[in-house]
Amino acid sequence: MKYSNAFIPTLREVPADAVIASHRLMFRAGLLRKLANGLFAYLPLGLRSFRKVEKIVREEMDAIGALEIKPTVVVPGELWKESGRWDAMGQSLLRVKNRLDNDFVVSPTAEEAFTAIVRDELSSYRQLPLALYQINTKFRDEVRPRYGVMRGREFVMKDAYSWHADEKSLDDTYQAMGRAYRQIFKRCGLSVIPVKADSGAMGGSGSEEFMVESDVGDNTLILCKCGYAANVEKASCAQDFTAQTSIENAKATAANTPAFEKIDTPNVKTIDELCDFLKTKPQTFIKTLIYRAINVELDLSSAPGCSKLERTKPSKDAPEVYTEAFFAVAIRGDLDVNEVKLAAILKASEVALASDADVIRLTNAPVGFAGPVGLTALPLVIDHSVTAMNDAVTGALVKDLHYKHVSYGRDFNAWMIEDLRTVKAGDKCSLCSGELYTKMGNELGHIFKLGYKYTRSMNVSFLDENGKSQIPTMGCYGIGVDRTLASVIEEHHDDAGIIWPISVAPFHVIVVPIKYDGVMKEAADKLVKDLTAAGIEVLLDDRNERPGVKFNDADLTGIPYRVVVGDKGLSQQPPVVEVKRRGEKDNFMLEAEKAAVDLTGRILEELKLF
């Protein structure tokens, strides 16, 4: 390919909104342009690398026996109503109508579409296991698209789905996917941190996220030297207290604590104010928060204050849920409630702190005075930490009043006791007791044992060996192609530009004649011809530009091998050309005659490493 025929609009200036290296460099190196917020067009150079990432993903999926299909991006809304996600997905789902007023969805993911296709074809256990995938456009109306294609509105995802007759078969495919993912990221030159996230409470029984470290990552990773790695959303830690495992124990521990009594706390609402006022530490408080949960699947028929709640079905075959329910959540004063864990425990699609009006209505007291003693209007969910508290301060459900000497088991009881705490750096590892530390990370891929969520709601079944009808279990596995590409640049660049790993470089070699004329033109053309014949991808910088400009663009676009063809080198005996490996300091000379063979050898060797 000749540069003069290419469309590589490199930029000196950085777009104002580009704050991370990959975003800046994808624009500056002419890989990408923006159409609107979160909508990007890949230009030819960017697309070449994009296709290479896709190819790697495809090869690794094919290698484990997953089968590619090409469904549509626009999917009937009916399927999403069946699964219940038409309502549950919220505003990130782009819903559209056609001229006949039918509902459609622009796929943000494709569990429904794939499950519908399989449902119609599946009859016998002999067809299982089955793993299908696509590499296709997705749309999510993200609240805050940012960092270029890292978080776009339209992007390409490889999404695979698998169906199984039993748990063992699901686990085999899940493990194979995990191995394929490690291979994909390795081949892209990426160092990933696989983060195990057991999501049992969410209906599945296994989940792993593949993260890259990033200062602007959206995920906090909780890590330990021993290898423990979890997303903070799911992380747990060793408890730093002795939990009371039974009410009898708790009561016995509380025996030496004086009876609880009221303390006047005029205008004292926050834990900090209370600490100042009582001259004590947050650890002695039981913090009680009122949460509003949406679409709660958990059975609340025996929960305090819930007898009048009724279950409804958001759509025809979706599970029954309580559209709205309130919970009191108590945790030791120095700890924070992890809302992802809470939502998982309640099987709710969303949880958020209740409004002031709801808090006042449910606790009969102003905001800031909630407490577990005497609370009957709603179910009390407590963190394990609270079970160890036998001389605590709590809100008294009355304005300007708290209680002291409050003991769990003696003065109040809980409806549920769960791990609700947000793990922090410095907490102890639950595996080895080592000190946990954090890093920020970006999710590139996710593998997930879905279980029966979709197969049940969408009525998928097959006949087992005994002719009995069974529901298959399911897994799903996603990788963001754009985000993976951007992450490669994040990991491989310097001040001058991109340093592509050879596996995903848009070209392997850029040939730069000092002047595209005379002997230099002749030598450059021959080199390009020989390299191309050997299967090497070459860009020939035939532009009538100063060498400095050409070198800068070669650095910026990050093509692994730069070969400079100059008249000085060509006039030596034997004639030589100068080679520079992008990212390395020194250049070296190759005999012009042998340069194509030598470079081909090097590149093929390097490619083997990926």
From residue 610, alpha-carbon distances to 53, 183, 200, 482, 605 in Å are 12, 9, 35, 19, 10
Helix (H, G, I), strand (E, B) or coil at 174: helix
Among 78, 141, 142, 391, binds ligand ATP (CB under 6 A): 142
Span interacting with ligand ATP, options 121-129, 147-155, 420-428, 465-473, rule CB under 6 A: 147-155
Helix (H, G, I), strand (E, B) or coil at 531: helix
Helix (H, G, I), strand (E, B) or coil at 363: helix
Question: Is 231:197 a contact under the CB 8 Å cutoff?
Answer: yes
The yes or no reply on residue 445 touching ligand ATP (CB under 6 A) is: yes
User: From CA 184, how far away is CA 483, in angstroms rounded?
Assistant: 13
Helix (H, G, I), strand (E, B) or coil at 490: helix
* 3-state SS, one letter per residue, for 276-321: HHHCCCHHHEEEEEEEEEEEECCCCCCCCCCCCCCCECCCCCCCCE
Question: CB-based contacts of 540: which residues, under 8 Å, 6+ apart?
Answer: 1, 2, 3, 510, 511, 513, 524, 525, 528
Of residues 337, 250, 251, the one with CA closest to residue 287: 337
Residues forming beta bridges with residue 36, ordered by sequence position: 39
Question: CB-based contacts of 421: which residues, under 8 Å, 6+ apart?
Answer: 237, 331, 335, 336, 337, 338, 383, 384, 385
Largest Cα span, the chain: 100
Least distance from ligand ATP to the Cβ atom of residue 226, Å: 26
User: From CA 147, how far away is CA 23, in angstroms rounded?
Assistant: 6
The yes or no reply on residue 155 touching ligand ATP (CB under 6 A) is: yes
Kindly write out the interface string for residues 384-423 of this chain, putting x where it contacts ligand ATP by CB under 6 A and - elsewhere: ----------------------------------------
Among 348, 444, 498, 523, binds ligand ATP (CB under 6 A): 444
The yes or no reply on residue 28 touching ligand ATP (CB under 6 A) is: no
Kindly write out the interface string for residues 171-210 of this chain, putting x where it contacts ligand ATP by CB under 6 A and - elsewhere: ----------------------------------------
Span interacting with ligand ATP, options 126-134, 165-173, 300-308, 438-446, rule CB under 6 A: 438-446
Least distance from ligand ATP to the Cβ atom of residue 10, Å: 24
From residue 473, alpha-carbon distances to 167, 172, 442, 586 in Å are 7, 13, 29, 56
Helix (H, G, I), strand (E, B) or coil at 137: strand
Instruction: Pick the closer one to ligand ATP by CB: 189 or 480.
Output: 480
Terminal alpha carbon distance of the chain: 24
The yes or no reply on residue 483 touching ligand ATP (CB under 6 A) is: yes
Helix (H, G, I), strand (E, B) or coil at 570: helix
Among 54, 82, 208, 482, binds ligand ATP (CB under 6 A): 482
Residue nearest to ligand ATP (CB): 480
Least distance from ligand ATP to the Cβ atom of residue 40, Å: 10
User: From CA 371, how far away is CA 380, in angstroms rounded?
Assistant: 10
Span interacting with ligand ATP, options 177-185, 460-468, 472-480, 530-538, rule CB under 6 A: 472-480
Q: How many residues does the chain have?
A: 610
Span interacting with ligand ATP, options 149-157, 243-251, 394-402, 527-535, rule CB under 6 A: 149-157
- 64-103 residues in contact with ligand ATP (CB under 6 A) are none
The yes or no reply on residue 157 touching ligand ATP (CB under 6 A) is: yes
Least distance from ligand ATP to the Cβ atom of residue 551, Å: 33
Among 23, 52, 151, 492, binds ligand ATP (CB under 6 A): 151
The yes or no reply on residue 140 touching ligand ATP (CB under 6 A) is: yes
Question: Is 139:153 a contact under the CB 8 Å cutoff?
Answer: yes
Span interacting with ligand ATP, options 271-279, 324-332, 442-450, 455-463, rule CB under 6 A: 442-450
Counting residues that bind ligand ATP (by CB under 6 A) gives 17
Least distance from ligand ATP to the Cβ atom of residue 487, Å: 9
Span interacting with ligand ATP, options 10-18, 271-279, 475-483, 522-530, rule CB under 6 A: 475-483
Least distance from ligand ATP to the Cβ atom of residue 94, Å: 12
Binding site for ligand ATP (CB under 6 A): 109, 140, 142, 151-152, 155, 157, 218, 443-446, 478-480, 482-483
